[in-house]
Amino acid sequence: MITLLGSATWHNGHVDGVIRDIRRPVPEDGLLSGAVARMGDSDAGPVVAMSIEGRIFPRKAPVHLHKSDSFRMALGEPIRVGGTSYAHGEFRLQQADAFYGPEYWTDEVGTNQLLLMADRRGLKPYLTDAQLQRLADTALADDVSLEGVAMLPRDADVPHAIANSFGAAPRPSHVDAGFTDTTGWPVLSDGSRLATIALGHRKSGVLLLCWDRPPGAAALPAFRLGADLVRLVVEGSCRIGEPGADVELGRLGFRLQQEGTWHGASRSGPTGSKELWIVADRRAWPPITAAGPAEGPLAEVGAEVAALASRLAAAA
| Among 231, 228, 226, residue whose Cα is nearest residue 286 | 226
pLDDT at 55: 86
Asked if the model's pLDDT at residue 316 lies above 80, the reply is no
- Burial class (CB within 10 angstroms; exposed 0-12, middle 13-18, buried 19+) of 163: buried
Q: What pLDDT is recorded for position 5? A: 87
| Extents of the domains making up the chain | 3-146, 163-315
pLDDT, tens digit (0-9, with 9 covering 90-100), for 234-293 = 999 999 998 888 999 999 999 999 999 999 999 999 999 999 999 999 999 999 999 999
Three-class secondary structure of residue 258 per DSSP: coil
Position 145 scores a pLDDT of 75
H helices present in the chain, as ranges? 130-141, 296-315
Superfamily, domain 3-146: Jelly Rolls (2.60.120.10)
User: Could you tell me if 187 and 297 are in contact, meaning their C-beta atoms sit under 8 angstroms apart?
Assistant: no
Work out the percent of the chain whose per-residue pLDDT is above 70: 100
Instruction: Read off the pLDDT band of 59 (50, 70, 90).
Output: confident
- CATH fold label, 163-315: Jelly Rolls (2.60.120)
Q: What is the DSSP code (8-state) at residue 282?
A: G
Instruction: Give the model confidence (pLDDT) of 142-179 as tens digits.
Output: 776 788 899 999 999 999 999 999 999 988 999 999 99
Model confidence pLDDT, tens digit, residues 195-218: 999 999 999 999 999 999 999 898
299 confidence band (pLDDT: 50, 70, 90): very high
Q: Sorting pLDDT into bands at 50, 70 and 90, what band is 108?
A: confident
Angle, CA of 96, 118 and 143, to the nearest 5°: 95
CB atoms near residue 44 (< 10 Å):
19
Any idea what DSSP says for residue 122? G
Q: Do domains 3-146 and 163-315 have the same CATH topology?
A: yes
